[in-house]
């Protein structure tokens, strides 16, 4: 091939390249600004600390772009390009409102809470477990997530909930928990049998007005914020901020809370557990004496 | 024999060579300018409708599972190791939308230029009297992948990948079913069908597309004259037992595959008309371990590092059971062994990814002499010896961001021992390969529902005394004492829907 032919080839290739580049640029001009995270707050100083690992927001920013931006969006407001197809909607980090916390309702979560949420993912949502990311990466993401809201600069996370040792699992504890389930009107959302079919279930919305379903205990799925009895205790003592699930920390005492945990486990009929076995044995012998849970048991279920 | 060509066309002319280099570099620079790394970093927030299989199912961007698609990152590796499951309730075969159907399309329209020197062709003196360059260029298509994969039931998944060449001749590149988490253990997973070997550095998922750069030379190398058709990068057919830790940092696999190079219908190829296969089985073993590299104080770590080792032990026939006086081959017989062993790594230093691989190959002496019609029942001819080779590559990726990656690769293969000391050009270096590849990929569209990558590459391969593996040129080496240089310039638009 002569130099002339080579130059012609080069020119043709360049024209093809420019045409393709122009085409994509035109397409791109319709959809975006130059840097998807251009509007992100300063990240230089934000850090996180989880189990001895220090996360850096600057590193987290790159990870956020790779893994999170599709759902949580370039502005951190949960309006990523996938958001329209996702139910429930992705978390809006600009509000700094998080469901899974170890801190009192209305307060910021700890770094460890956010780290655990990233690690665990949220069952029944599109948020997968990010355990394949190494601990450093997850800590970096925690640091970056904290840059989306000014609350992190102004407030400290709330005091971590103290969870006392679990009380013994007895039929008395379960029965008392059943009374509390009636008295605290948990059944109005979760349903008398925990099927998420209470009279209020269809009316629930989250803090953004988006319809939300209560947890269905009967499926045997793990809870959104963990799977152990301690996790369940924590859920209703801290509440799930941003959802209709309130905190009961000011309403019931720790021992009562454990009783409620024990009863809630009996609703998980698809998940074999000690409480369920105990309850089924008792129910076989005394089932006819039990008042049904619901509006007809205003005097308290027993 | 040879014909004198104008000086300007002599690729060994330093001035001309310099001009080519300048123009080629200018083309690649232009590609980068057009792509404009900074502007290109835009991740569109608009709603673009395109639907790759898993991204649509899970609502994750391509970059969640891929360093740069199709190469997997660790999150994607864990997803794959779990049988294409995130291990949550979204793993159901059909989720959200009953019309969901797990299919993706991939094809790459391209412009490319392929050239090889030291080729024999017809000249003024008659047939095959000229030696020089054979060059071709123009717009072209790649083959097409019609990729379907998904879950059939909890822990049961499948992959079906009909693939065509650019002329729409189809074959099943991959087709397997896998059963995962047997006895609730991630260490026990079984795959059954036609699949890629568990290579730490996958050739099916790599980022080069050009004629010369689009394959790892050592994955397909055999010493000159050797009849062994095994390709480490080629999909094989059989069964694989694999396992992994929860985060896939530790991985192993044991594959038992037919000794027929992934052929179907008891032949040695997935296309009709191939010679019959034999009746033996090969084994592939792979193990890898990943760890996190800590960074300097006050900084995050360098990233994940993975190292691994592999061994493939196989057999290939040196003859055939025949009928009709030898006119029809029935079954491959007189099998002789060979093996490939080596180690590889996938190393990260922040945005830089380095992937070294070393392989040693050893074939039975009869595989090196079978082409001469020597039966394994006969004694080896004087001077015959087991062909061996060694070498590998070092590939580097630099990720400017998830949407822009610069690529480079250096490959070197040396024949350790020729089948005959004086085979080919009589030199011990006969068959050696040296290759350089450079590229740049820009992903202007990297949604959860589709992807487009602009791919620019330059690759140059030197093969001593043999035709290049890429197939460039006409397949006849002019002067076996000289190297054959083959090169590719490639620009393609790689899209995945």
- What's the pLDDT tens digit per position in A222-250? 888 998 999 999 998 999 999 999 999 99
Residue B166: is its pLDDT beyond 70? yes
**Total domains in the fold of chain B:** 1
pLDDT per position as a tens digit, B88-122: 777 777 655 655 677 888 899 999 999 999 999 99
CB B323 within 8 A of CB B331: no
* Residue B7 domain flag: no
Q: What is the CATH number of domain A171-297?
A: 1.10.760.10
Q: How confident is the model at residue B480 (pLDDT cuts 50, 70, 90)?
A: confident
Q: A47-154 and A171-297: same fold?
A: yes
Residue A7: is its pLDDT beyond 80? no
Taking CA atoms, A233 is separated from A172, A228, B13, in Å, by: 18, 9, 80
* Residue B320 domain flag: yes
CATH of the domain at B310: 2.40.160.10
Residue bearing the bigger pLDDT, A23 or A123: A123
- Which domain, by its residues, includes B370? 48-106+140-469
The answer to which of A69-73, B292-296, B493-497 has the lowest mean pLDDT is B292-296
Residue A33: is its pLDDT beyond 50? no
Q: Does A39 touch chain B (CB under 8 A)?
A: no
Please, where are the H alpha helices in chain A? 3-29, 57-63, 69-72, 111-120, 135-145, 151-154, 171-183, 187-190, 229-238, 254-266, 274-286
* A-B C-beta contacts closer than 8 Å: 171
For domain A47-154, is the CATH number 1.10.275.10?
Answer: no
Using CB atoms, pick whichever of B58, B75, B111 lies closest to residue A126: B58
| Cross-chain residue pair B90–A3, CB shorter than 8 Å | no
Residue B407: is its pLDDT beyond 50? yes
Model ipTM value: 0.77
* Residue B475 domain flag: no
Residue A213: is its pLDDT beyond 80? yes
Taking CA atoms, A18 is separated from A11, A23, A211, B30, B79, in Å, by: 10, 8, 48, 8, 37
pLDDT for position A173: 96
B146-165 residues touching A, CB cutoff 8 A = none
Q: A5: closest CA among B113, B29, B116?
A: B113
Using CB atoms, pick whichever of A3, A20, A27 lies closest to residue B454: A20
**Three-state DSSP state, B71:** strand
What is the rounded average pLDDT of the residues A97-116? 95
Q: How confident is the model at residue B473 (pLDDT cuts 50, 70, 90)?
A: confident
CB B431 within 8 A of CB B414: no
CB B282 within 8 A of CB B306: no
A296: left (phi over 0), alpha (psi -120 to 50) or beta: alpha
| Cross-chain residue pair A66–B402, CB shorter than 8 Å | yes
**Residues paired with B150 in a beta bridge:** B158
Cα gap B79→B72, rounded to integer Å? 10
pLDDT for position A299: 45
| Cross-chain residue pair B74–A140, CB shorter than 8 Å | no
Q: Does A270 touch chain B (CB under 8 A)?
A: no
Residues whose CB is less than 8 angstroms from the CB of residue A26 and which lie 6 or more positions away in sequence, other chains included = none
* Residue B39 domain flag: no
Q: Does B401 touch chain A (CB under 8 A)?
A: yes
* Residue B179 domain flag: yes
pLDDT for position B185: 96
Cα gap B331→A168, rounded to integer Å? 72
| Cross-chain residue pair A30–B42, CB shorter than 8 Å | no
- A128–chain B nearest CA distance, Å: 6
- B232–chain A nearest CA distance, Å: 28
CB B469 within 8 A of CB B243: no
Residue A23: is its pLDDT beyond 70? no
* Residue B133 domain flag: no
Using CB atoms, pick whichever of B27, B88, B304 lies closest to residue A134: B304
Diameter of chain B by CA atoms?
Answer: 77
Cα gap B108→B92, rounded to integer Å? 31
pLDDT per position as a tens digit, A172-190: 999 999 999 999 999 999 9
* Residue B452 domain flag: yes
| Cross-chain residue pair A14–B30, CB shorter than 8 Å | yes
Q: Does B299 touch chain A (CB under 8 A)?
A: yes
Taking CA atoms, B170 is separated from B174, B276, B282, in Å, by: 12, 20, 26
Helices then strands, counting H and E runs in chain A, come out as: 11, 2
Cα gap B67→B62, rounded to integer Å? 9
pLDDT per position as a tens digit, B339-373: 999 999 999 998 899 999 999 999 999 999 888 88
Q: Report the b/e string of A54-90 with b at 16+ CB within 10 A.
A: bbbbbbbbbbbbbbbbbbbbbbbbbbbbbbeebebbb
pLDDT per position as a tens digit, B37-68: 434 333 333 333 333 677 777 878 888 888 88
Q: Does B6 touch chain A (CB under 8 A)?
A: yes
What is the rounded average pLDDT of the residues A138-148? 95
Using CB atoms, pick whichever of A73, A74, A123 lies closest to residue B89: A123
Q: Does B34 touch chain A (CB under 8 A)?
A: yes
B197-226 residues touching A, CB cutoff 8 A = none
Domain locations along chain A:
47-154, 171-297
pLDDT for position A19: 52
Taking CA atoms, B271 is separated from B141, B261, B264, B458, in Å, by: 20, 12, 8, 30
Q: Does B37 touch chain A (CB under 8 A)?
A: no
pTM, 2 dp: 0.82
What is chain B's mean pLDDT, rounded? Answer: 86
Cα–Cα–Cα angle for B338, B319, B361, nearest 5°?
Answer: 15
Residues of A with Cβ-Cβ distance to B74 under 8 angstroms = 132-133
| Cross-chain residue pair A85–B301, CB shorter than 8 Å | no
Q: Does B301 touch chain A (CB under 8 A)?
A: yes
Cα–Cα–Cα angle for B357, B415, B317, nearest 5°?
Answer: 95
Residues of A with Cβ-Cβ distance to B81 under 8 angstroms = none
What is the rounded average pLDDT of the residues B438-445? 93
Q: How confident is the model at residue A6 (pLDDT cuts 50, 70, 90)?
A: low
The answer to which of A8-12, A162-166, B298-302 has the lowest mean pLDDT is A8-12
Helix axes A254-266, A171-183, angle to 10 degrees: 90
Cα gap B444→B31, rounded to integer Å? 13
Residues of B with Cβ-Cβ distance to A54 under 8 angstroms = 298
pLDDT per position as a tens digit, B125-157: 999 999 999 999 999 999 999 988 888 888 999
Cis peptide before A88 (omega within 30 of 0): yes
Name the residue in chain A with its Cα closest to that of B403. Answer: A66
Q: Does B300 touch chain A (CB under 8 A)?
A: yes
Cα gap B342→B360, rounded to integer Å? 6
| Cross-chain residue pair B75–A134, CB shorter than 8 Å | no
Q: Does A223 touch chain B (CB under 8 A)?
A: no
Q: How confident is the model at residue B492 (pLDDT cuts 50, 70, 90)?
A: very high
pLDDT for position A297: 64
Q: Does A30 touch chain B (CB under 8 A)?
A: yes
Residue B237: is its pLDDT beyond 90? yes
Using CB atoms, pick whichever of A16, A34, A140 lies closest to residue B111: A16
B76-135 residues touching A, CB cutoff 8 A = 77-79, 86-90, 96, 111, 113, 115, 133, 135
* Residue B63 domain flag: yes
| Cross-chain residue pair B493–A20, CB shorter than 8 Å | yes
């Amino acid at each position: 091939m002569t130099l002339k032919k080579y130059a012609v080839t080069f020119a043709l290739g360049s024209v093809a390249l420019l045409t393709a580049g122009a085409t994509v640029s035109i397409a791109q001009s319709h959809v975006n600004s130059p840097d998807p995270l251009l509007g992100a707050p300063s990240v230089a100083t934000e850090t996180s600390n989880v189990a001895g690992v220090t996360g850096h927001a600057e590193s987290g920013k790159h990870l956020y772009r790779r893994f999170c931006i599709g759902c949580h969006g370039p502005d951190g407001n949960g309006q990523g390009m996938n958001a329209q197809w996702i139910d429930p909607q992705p978390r809006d980090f600009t509000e700094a409102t998080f469901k899974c916390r170890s801190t009192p309702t209305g307060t910021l979560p700890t770094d460890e809470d956010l780290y655990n949420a990233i690690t665990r993912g949220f069952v029944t949502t599109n948020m997968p477990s990010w355990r394949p990311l190494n601990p450093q990466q997850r800590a970096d993401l925690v640091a970056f997530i904290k840059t989306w809201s000014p609350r992190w600069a102004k407030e400290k996370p709330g005091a971590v909930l103290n969870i006392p040792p679990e009380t013994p699992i007895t039929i008395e504890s379960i029965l008392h928990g059943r009374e509390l389930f009636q008295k605290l009107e948990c059944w109005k959302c979760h349903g008398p049998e925990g099927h998420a079919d209470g009279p209020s279930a269809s009316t629930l919305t989250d803090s953004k007005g988006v319809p939300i379903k209560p947890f269905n205990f009967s499926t045997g799925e793990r809870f959104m914020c963990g799977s152990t009895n301690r996790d369940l205790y924590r859920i209703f003592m801290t509440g799930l901020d941003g959802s209709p699930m309130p905190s009961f920390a000011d309403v019931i005492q720790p021992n009562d809370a454990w009783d409620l945990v024990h009863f809630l486990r009996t609703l998980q009929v698809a998940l074999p557990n000690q409480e369920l076995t105990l309850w089924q044995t008792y129910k076989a012998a005394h089932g006819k004496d039990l008042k049904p849970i619901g509006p007809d048991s205003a005097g308290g279920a027993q | 024999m040879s014909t004198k060509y104008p000086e300007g066309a002599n690729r060994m002319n330093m001035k001309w060579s310099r001009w080519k280099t300048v123009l080629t570099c200018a083309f690649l620079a232009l590609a980068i300018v057009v792509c404009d790394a900074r502007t290109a970093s835009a991740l569109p927030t608009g709603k673009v409708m395109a639907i790759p299989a898993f991204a649509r199912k899970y609502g994750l961007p391509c970059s969640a599972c891929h360093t740069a698609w199709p190469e997997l990152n660790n999150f994607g590796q864990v997803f794959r190791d779990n049988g294409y499951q995130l291990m949550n309730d979204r793993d159901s075969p059909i989720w959200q939308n009953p019309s969901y159907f797990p299919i993706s399309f991939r094809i790459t329209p391209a412009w490319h230029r392929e050239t090889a020197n030291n080729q024999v062709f017809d000249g003024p003196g008659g047939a095959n009297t000229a030696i020089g360059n054979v060059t071709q260029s123009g717009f072209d298509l790649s083959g097409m992948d019609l990729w379907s994969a998904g879950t059939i039931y909890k822990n049961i998944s499948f992959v079906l990948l009909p693939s065509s060449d650019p002329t729409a001749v189809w074959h099943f590149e991959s087709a397997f079913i896998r059963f995962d988490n047997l006895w609730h253990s991630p260490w026990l997973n079984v795959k059954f069908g036609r699949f890629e070997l568990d290579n730490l550095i996958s050739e099916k998922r790599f980022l080069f597309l050009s004629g010369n750069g689009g394959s790892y030379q050592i994955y397909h190398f055999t010493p000159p004259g050797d009849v062994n058709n095994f390709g480490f990068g080629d999909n094989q057919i059989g069964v694989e037992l694999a396992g992994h830790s929860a985060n896939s940092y530790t991985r192993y696999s044991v594959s038992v595959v037919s000794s027929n190079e992934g052929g179907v219908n008891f032949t040695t190829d997935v296309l009709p008309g191939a010679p019959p296969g034999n009746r033996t089985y090969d084994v592939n073993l792979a193990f890898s371990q990943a760890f996190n590299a800590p960074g300097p104080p006050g900084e995050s770590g360098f990233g994940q590092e993975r190292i691994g080792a592999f061994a493939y032990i196989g057999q290939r026939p040196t003859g055939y059971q025949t009928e009709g006086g030898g006119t029809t081959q029935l079954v491959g017989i007189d099998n002789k062994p060979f093996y490939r062993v080596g180690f590889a790594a996938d190393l990260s230093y922040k945005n830089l990814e380095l992937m070294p691989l070393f392989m040693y190959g050893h074939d039975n002496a009869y595989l090196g002499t079978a082409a001469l019609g020597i039966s394994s029942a006969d004694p080896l001819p004087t001077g015959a010896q087991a062909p061996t080779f060694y070498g590998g590559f070092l590939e580097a990726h630099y990720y400017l961001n998830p949407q822009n990656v610069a690529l480079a690769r250096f490959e070197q293969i040396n024949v350790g021992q020729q089948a005959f000391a004086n085979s080919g050009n009589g030199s011990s270096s006969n068959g050696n390969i040296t290759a350089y590849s450079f590229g740049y990929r820009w992903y202007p569209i990297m949604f959860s529902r589709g992807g487009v990558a602009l791919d620019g590459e330059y690759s140059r391969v030197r093969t001593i005394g043999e035709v290049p593996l890429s197939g460039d040129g006409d397949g006849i080496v002019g002067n076996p004492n000289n190297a054959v240089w083959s090169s590719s310039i490639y620009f393609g638009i790689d899209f995945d829907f």
